[in-house]
């Protein structure tokens, strides 16, 4: 989401489309770590075909509900969906997760999550960290 503070989706999409045409390769623009269905809905309607909904900061059931709503909308628009379960500590772009808020993904919970949401891919927390190291 931080990217959109600096450049509009329409500008990114135009640039990517120009490269796709110029080089004769297919392209799918991916939204990373978005947190609301409304935001994803607007961007998918503008042409995005891959979206990550990040409800990892919510309790399990609330995360399932959010992700399922995004999956239902996106799949009807031929858009794949990635979700996140578990939280990595660190700083990336405009997101920060402190050590107390970080937790690893439980494999059995991940299985239930995928079955209940129908998500296409799942980002899991297995002990690595996001961001720059200083």
Active site positions, annotated: 32
Rounded-to-integer distance, Cα 127 and Cα 12, Å: 32
Rounded-to-integer distance, Cα 18 and Cα 2, Å: 23
- The token pair at 14 is 């135009």
Rounded-to-integer distance, Cα 59 and Cα 78, Å: 28
Query: What is the maximum span of the chain, computed from C-alpha positions, in angstroms?
Result: 47
3-state SS, residue 5: helix
């Amino acid at each position: 989401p931080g990217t959109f503070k600096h450049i509009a989706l329409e500008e990114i999409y135009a640039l990517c489309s120009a490269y796709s045409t110029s080089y004769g390769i297919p392209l799918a623009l991916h939204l990373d770590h978005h947190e609301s269905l409304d935001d994803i809905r607007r961007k998918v309607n503008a042409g995005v075909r891959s979206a990550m909904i990040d409800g990892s900061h919510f309790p399990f059931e609330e995360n399932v509900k959010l992700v399922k709503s995004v999956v239902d909308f996106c799949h009807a628009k031929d858009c794949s969906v990635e979700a996140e379960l578990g939280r990595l500590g660190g700083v990336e772009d405009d997101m920060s997760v402190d050590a107390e808020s970080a937790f690893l993904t439980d494999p059995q919970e991940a299985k239930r999550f995928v079955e209940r949401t129908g998500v296409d891919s799942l980002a899991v927390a297995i002990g690595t960290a996001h961001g720059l190291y200083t």
